[in-house]
Structure 1
Amino acid sequence: MKKLSLITLVLLLLLQLREAVAQPSLRFVAEDLYPLHYITDQGKYAGFLVELAQLLTEECEINSNIEIMPQARAFKEFRRDPNTIMLSLLKTPSRENDFQFLGEVYQAKAYLIGLKQNHIKLKTLQDAQKFRTGTVRGYFSQVFLESKGFSKEDNLVLATDPASLLNMLYKDRTDLVLTNSISLEQELTLLKLEPESVEHKLELADFPNELHFTAHSQLSKSTVIRLSKALQKIKQDGRYFNLATKWQVAY
């Protein structure tokens, strides 16, 4: 009888060990984008979605770590490693078959912005085709503008990164910039550009605006389901709202 109990105990321990080994350790990656996910002056990772990711993995009892890096590198790491999750990725029709979207975590409205001194008046995106419009090369915004008739040969200006794009606007190398307003004022201030010199020229209502926690296509379905259900629970029980209130982000 004692021998049978010992065998049972060993089997249970082996089962627990197997589950522990099978349990994925997740890595969340994102660019530096205040107040969603950013690096503090002390070198710490902070932000609304950083804390939401921590809540999520605690709820699921999954080990995880978070890293902030340039967007191009973050996306490359995400595509390479099945256990890497993007903290905020724009959900677009072309991406729905490539990735697993765990749930919407934020909405970011898109605008065409320009310098106030240019006095550009826009009623529709078609009106903007008379002007040079800039975005970052490789971003979905490039695909969006090209689908609306903009072209590099005529009126589409491409920059290598967001900082270069904003500098191009102030140096009159583009008339308009497609961007969201999540951290625009802070970005301009860091670049020593005057935030009060720019204004929204046109809101792009048909530009996708849902940011999602997004998983690799090969992350196990069971893990995806656990994370999605946990995120929904966090939204329903008020923890998401409390976090959004703390970080003063609208939802």
Structure 2
Amino acid sequence: MTGPTHGSVRVTGPAHASEPAPLVLLAEDDDDVRETTELLLLRRGWRVTATVDGVAALEAVDVEVPDVAVLDVAMPRLNGLDLTARLTALGIPVVLLTARSLPLDEVTGLAAGADDYVTKPFDADVLSARLRAVLRRRLGPPQEVLAIGDVRVDVRARRVERRGVPVPLTSVEFRVLEALLRNRGAVLSREQVIAMAWDSTWQDPRIVDTNVQRLRRKLGPGVVETVRGFGYRVDRDPS
């Protein structure tokens, strides 16, 4: 899970990824917060470049350009607001993560170019869902047809087929399958699936298990994979 360390920069990735997951640039000078945030993001299927301040973050960008950045505001050498301006100029979306919770602080952060603003203490699933929402906005309209192996999902028509035969799904089953397909290769926790499929964290996590079991009965084995201790993913084409 742990990648190479270069001075004040460490790159890590999920242990079960077979394809490159989205890369998060994390800049946080508090050791405990940085390490905890890094671990929480890894568990939700992200790769992470962890840096101790804004200058180290810019150095990390020269090595590998991230898909999205999570920045603390109050950092030495180069603060989060100034770093936001530099990263957004490079086309890198930014989510600010800070203990400052006054409306003026949020307005200031967004005015600096940040795409979103999350206050500490934060919920890890909410942070991960917001990161994915930022990426979806940057990437433009979602794909209308998703596929893995002989399973084809027409998002606009809300239609699922396997081997050309329609597979009737409930609206909830469809949203769970769509969330997994849109994040193909990433391991999603039950809480993360809830945040994407229900747009709410106020659900019993066991509801994800129930819907995955129903999807397996309807689609057959090999489509949705269980990664023990982490969650679910759609990865390899079912045989």
- Note whether the superposition's TM-score is higher than 0.5: no
Give the structure-1-normalised TM-score. 0.24
Give the structure-2-normalised TM-score. 0.25
Q: Relative contact order (C-alpha < 8 Å, sep 6+): which is higher?
A: 1
